[in-house]
Structure 1
Amino acid sequence: MHKVDDPEPGGPPATVNNAAEIQERDLERLGRERPAAFHGALQEVLFCSSLLISMFMAEYFISGFNIILPELSRALEIPPASQTWPASVFALVTGAFLLPFGRLGDMYGAYVVFNFGLVWFSLWCLVGGFSRNYEMLIATRALAGFGPAAFLPTGVMLIGKTYRPGPRKNLVFSLYSAFAPIGFFIGIITGGLTGQYLSWRWWFWIGAIVLFLVCVASFLTIPNDYFNSSQRNNNTQGKAAVQMDYWGLATIVPALVLITFAITAGTHAPHGWKTPYILVTFILGILLLGAAVYVEGWVAQQPLLPFDLFGPKYMGRLVIALFFSYGVFGIYLFYASAEIANVQGASVLMTAVWFAPMAGGGIVLATVGGFTLHLLPGRVVILISGAGSLVSVLLFALIPPDANYWAYVFPSMIGATVGVDITFLVANIFITTNTPSHRQGLAGGLIYSVLFLGISFFLGLADLAVAENNEKRGHDGNHYKVAFWLATACAGVTFLIFATIKLGKAESELTVEEKAQLELEGASRPN
């Protein structure tokens, strides 16, 4: 048996001394055993719990806010025309700053950035419960958005750096993916219960209490990689240390903010997309995005989004498919809720109950997927995912008024959780496995940027399509169907792209660094 190096706390997963001599049984064992960064099972359990609940709480504060918004708007006297901004500003800030915080994770270590994000998020969610007016609510929601922007990409980074490719990493990522729909479901339930029996303020405070407990667990159990990152940056042996790309920061972030704002607010502006400030922000955003492409490709020494990140086979194609897939999911969440409440006539709490199969399905998929993903070809897995997304939106496109729950809604919910959970899981495993350890934060930023941008972009398109349909045909009871048909078309595109991607099994394998070492050793051998 060949000696395996134990990693430093928070450093890359264990590697073998000589990558050329590693045997298959070594890889299989390394892919299944507990990482040496943990001192025991309890630390690993609390480490994973911190990551899972951080994902859970990010979804909690997205889904539940729409439930408490009517009561909150009455309490703070927010007019209907201004109610969309408190709901969207949180996601706007989070989506725009994912890549910069991912880079900070690569610079200073995931421990620092992840814990900063949790503490910051819990603080501003707590303050949000004390909001006295519209302006204070907007400020707290915007400031809270920096929290998930910090801990979401570094959460992926922590899993990617701590676990080697293999079944154990698959299981952790499966659970991580499952906690998104669970958090979404609990956010709706808690929002409905607090709004009906307590106060909308308690929805914020309950979330802040949970986040505080997660902060304690993460501080105590996450391996501290700050000193490793600092040492790497201070002892680079002639190589450039990981640095912030300020030119990329100055172009990418405002471009994303302006474009996302225009797409989100365009339909609700006084004159729609003809409103001057919508046109100006959208055009400026496009110009800045073009400048960002030039900066990242030909100016920046260490781009915030380097083009060679898309070098691994199928990476670019997968990212495009993810963009469409997450857009489908965003349309589904928003318009399925609207269809169930406004057309099918379900109450707020009953709407949450109707979404329960997504949470339950996520748990089942996490359990099954975590133990079987290394046995199934990746291509089969993503095609199942694409089919699930297609079925979920197609059923709502065809749903009649007073529809039977078991015939339409239940199978649609199962299809939705199959679609998003498997897609997110495969994307996390593929991207982190094909990214070197010093870019794991960047990988996490890319994963979540595609998610947030896909949801915002296609939800804006669906909103525009529904508004145009209402203007031409009026509110005839079927005005949501145009959104679902748009989502069906996008799901079809996703499925076709998935069909061209040939991913292998998520088995135990060499890390990127070990593969590079193996190639170097092979090139240095005499012929």
Structure 2
Amino acid sequence: MYRNLRGRPGVVLAAVAVAQFAVALDLSVVNVALPSMRTALGFAPLGLSWVVHAYALTLGGFLLLGGRASDLYGRRRLFVLGLVVFGLCSLAGGLAQAPWQLIAARAGQGIGAAAATPAALAMLTTTYTEGPQRVRALGVWSGVNAAGGALGVLAGGLLTEYAGWRWVMLINLPIVAVALALVLAGVPVEVRPVRRERLDVLGAVLVTGGVGLLVLDVVRADTQGWGSPATLVMFVAAAALLAAFVLVESRSPAPLLRFGLLRSRWVAGANVLVFFAAAGQFAAFYFISLYMQQVLDMGAAATGLAFLPFSASLVAGTVVATRVTATRTPRASLVPGALLAAVGLGWFACISPDGGFLTDVLGPCVVTGVGVGLVIAPIVVAATTGVAPREAGMASGLMNSSRQLGGCIGLAALAAIAAHRTGTATDPAALNDGYALGLAVAAALFVLAAVVAIAVLPRRRADVRIPQSTAPTENLLEGTSS
């Protein structure tokens, strides 16, 4: 029989929240520091983008593997291992003396995050049973995750301007130390499994290679061109690896991803929805930041501070979503949240080259932030509804992979659309037109997310049951409490 790992729920939640804040922070904290990194380490113009891409590439490529490994080898073990790797690579990045060293450190951070993130989410879903308590715990996780990404711009700007670019890497060390201390204090050591399935090595190689190539192809498309032979060849190779993964997993007795999970409208709908929402959200962050710096001529620190209203409204939306989802279904928050985010981004698309923070940024920030907050909290609940405890890591890895892929593909595609509108012009008016178009498309992506929520997600939690695996249930015994 599979038994849940409980420990001290409040401490487990605190450890997971602190760790997820660091992981989310690193998705955006380096962006403002890139010019300083280029000057200090002598980056070539094209090489500098890999400080961002290396993290996204390894994080997206290894998330599904990290999720399944946490099911088989223990959530606490993978969580601690991921945090240690993330912390050591943060230290290496802060001490880097050459471009390749910083890029390698960022790739290592992504691998550590890919191990820790699904393990952390699985720890929550196995610590808290389905119902209001789990909804509140996942609401905290979602709020911290979103706040980390939003505050990364602020932290990056302040650290770069007042402490130096190395601190955008070193700031992770105390955060990781706090998370590890909380794990030692409140998460029990897992009992060695009596019977454990083997990790699907072939499936892991295929999905990691396929997803990694897809992310690499997308992030390179802005320089290679979407229709270039190199882009098309890499896309075909990624598609072939992913098709082989589907074939292998359909025949594996212990798959990395059991496709029976996707027969649930909760799981399938949540993953499609989070793909569209992340595509719109990641791109919106990018365009808004560039608009404030390149059109409104705001400095790095001022741009970071300007994101505070968004962060505050996002947290407010998360609180409301948590209360709604605790008494109703995730769908009740996801539909209005996606539509409200679409309205906010549509408002953002009205930006003007002669505008300002109060007239063009503040209002849309508040509306968009509340809408995104209403989406990100219940999406995790939806993606794990009805999932067996032994497959919590699998479902968590799948949801995080969908989110990361959506963010990477959405950002690259919308950046290309904006660049096509701008052309070779560099004046504020031309840049404004490109960013406005990108924000309008981001709004349309949230409309698609709302359509998915309406058409796919069930109206009641009990409407859909997930077909259960026929694999042995004794693959991982965790703790001794029920």
Of 4, 18, 24, which aligns to 1:12? 4
Report matched runs for 1:184-223 at 5 Å: 184-223=149-188
Of 327, 330, 335, which aligns to 1:378? 330
String of CA shifts for 1:205-255, please: whole Å, max 9, x gaps: 22212212211221221233343xx12xx2xxxxxx433122211211111
Question: Who is 1:30 aligned against?
Answer: none
Matches of 1:480 and 1:185, distance apart in 2: 19
Matches of 1:308 and 1:473, distance apart in 2: 50
String of CA shifts for 1:398-424, please: whole Å, max 9, x gaps: 122233534542232233333333323
SS of structure 1 residue aligned to 2:275: helix
Instruction: Summarize the Cα distance change of 1:511–1:217 in structure 2 as closer, same or farther, 3 Å threshold.
Output: farther
Question: Who is 1:48 aligned against?
Answer: 13
Which one-letter code corresponds to 2:207 in the other structure? I
Of 61, 68, 81, which aligns to 2:33? 68
Matches of 2:264 and 2:414, distance apart in 1: 33
String of CA shifts for 1:331-361, please: whole Å, max 9, x gaps: 1111111112111222211211221123212
Report matched runs for 1:439-478 at 5 Å: 439-471=391-423, 476-477=430-431, 478=433
Would you say 1:141 and 2:106 are equivalent positions? yes
Tell me if structure 1 keeps the 8 A contact 2:12–2:124: no
Matches of 1:501 and 1:282, distance apart in 2: 28
Structure 1 stretches of 5 or more lacking a match? Answer: 1-6, 14-36, 235-240, 514-527
Of 288, 296, 299, which aligns to 2:249? 296
- Larger RCO, structures 1/2 (Cα 8 Å, 6+ apart): 2
Moved more, 498-507 or 110-119: 498-507
Matches of 1:390 and 1:372, distance apart in 2: 20
Tell me if structure 2 keeps the 8 A contact 1:115–1:219: no
Q: Shift in Å at residue 505 of structure 1? A: 6.4
Question: Who is 1:151 aligned against?
Answer: 116
Tell me if structure 1 keeps the 8 A contact 2:266–2:385: no
Which one-letter code corresponds to 1:242 in the other structure? E
Matches of 1:101 and 1:358, distance apart in 2: 31
Which one-letter code corresponds to 2:173 in the other structure? A
Would you say 1:265 and 2:220 are equivalent positions? yes
Of 243, 249, 254, which aligns to 2:209? 254
Question: Who is 1:494 aligned against?
Answer: 449
Instruction: Summarize the Cα distance change of 1:377–1:246 in structure 2 as closer, same or farther, 3 Å threshold.
Output: closer
Of 377, 382, 385, which aligns to 1:425? 377
Matches of 2:81 and 2:221, distance apart in 1: 34
Instruction: Summarize the Cα distance change of 1:316–1:182 in structure 2 as closer, same or farther, 3 Å threshold.
Output: closer
String of CA shifts for 1:245-288, please: whole Å, max 9, x gaps: 2221121111111111111111123xx23555433322211221
Q: Shift in Å at residue 328 of structure 1? A: 0.7
Matches of 2:135 and 2:460, distance apart in 1: 11
Question: Who is 2:478 aligned against?
Answer: none
Tell me if structure 1 keeps the 8 A contact 2:24–2:146: yes
Which one-letter code corresponds to 2:339 in the other structure? A
Matches of 1:511 and 1:120, distance apart in 2: 34
Q: Which has the larger radius of gyration?
A: 1
Instruction: Summarize the Cα distance change of 1:311–1:492 in structure 2 as closer, same or farther, 3 Å threshold.
Output: same
SS of structure 2 residue aligned to 1:403: coil
Which one-letter code corresponds to 2:348 in the other structure? F
Matches of 2:178 and 2:30, distance apart in 1: 21
Report matched runs for 1:68-467 at 5 Å: 68-227=33-192, 230-231=193-194, 234=195, 241-269=196-224, 272-273=225-226, 275-297=228-250, 299-467=251-419
SS of structure 1 residue aligned to 2:223: coil
Tell me if structure 1 keeps the 8 A contact 2:334–2:379: no
Matches of 1:198 and 1:502, distance apart in 2: 47
Matches of 2:448 and 2:411, distance apart in 1: 16
Tell me if structure 2 keeps the 8 A contact 1:175–1:363: no
Question: Who is 1:18 aligned against?
Answer: none
Matches of 1:472 and 1:122, distance apart in 2: 41
Structure 2 stretches of 5 or more lacking a match? Answer: 469-482
Matches of 2:271 and 2:130, distance apart in 1: 20
Matches of 2:67 and 2:330, distance apart in 1: 26
Matches of 1:490 and 1:367, distance apart in 2: 24
Instruction: Summarize the Cα distance change of 1:217–1:379 in structure 2 as closer, same or farther, 3 Å threshold.
Output: closer
SS of structure 2 residue aligned to 1:64: coil
Q: Shift in Å at residue 119 of structure 1? A: 1.0
Matches of 1:377 and 1:72, distance apart in 2: 46
String of CA shifts for 1:484-504, please: whole Å, max 9, x gaps: 222122222222222224545
Would you say 1:479 and 2:434 are equivalent positions? yes
Tell me if structure 1 keeps the 8 A contact 2:92–2:102: no
String of CA shifts for 1:345-392, please: whole Å, max 9, x gaps: 222112112211232123323444334422244333111111122023
Matches of 1:445 and 1:93, distance apart in 2: 13
Which one-letter code corresponds to 1:289 in the other structure? L
Tell me if structure 1 keeps the 8 A contact 2:155–2:304: no
RMSD: 2.5
Instruction: Summarize the Cα distance change of 1:393–1:368 in structure 2 as closer, same or farther, 3 Å threshold.
Output: closer
Which one-letter code corresponds to 1:91 in the other structure? A
Instruction: Summarize the Cα distance change of 1:421–1:344 in structure 2 as closer, same or farther, 3 Å threshold.
Output: same
Tell me if structure 1 keeps the 8 A contact 2:315–2:373: no
SS of structure 2 residue aligned to 1:304: coil
Matches of 2:313 and 2:56, distance apart in 1: 25
Tell me if structure 2 keeps the 8 A contact 1:100–1:249: yes
Moved more, 467-476 or 149-158: 467-476
Tell me if structure 2 keeps the 8 A contact 1:97–1:146: yes
Question: Who is 2:480 aligned against?
Answer: none
SS of structure 1 residue aligned to 2:423: helix
Moved more, 145-154 or 369-378: 369-378
Matches of 2:148 and 2:416, distance apart in 1: 28
Instruction: Summarize the Cα distance change of 1:54–1:260 in structure 2 as closer, same or farther, 3 Å threshold.
Output: same
Matches of 1:313 and 1:206, distance apart in 2: 40
TM-score where L is the length of structure 1: 0.82
TM-score where L is the length of structure 2: 0.90
Q: Shift in Å at residue 158 of structure 1? A: 0.5
Instruction: Summarize the Cα distance change of 1:126–1:93 in structure 2 as closer, same or farther, 3 Å threshold.
Output: same
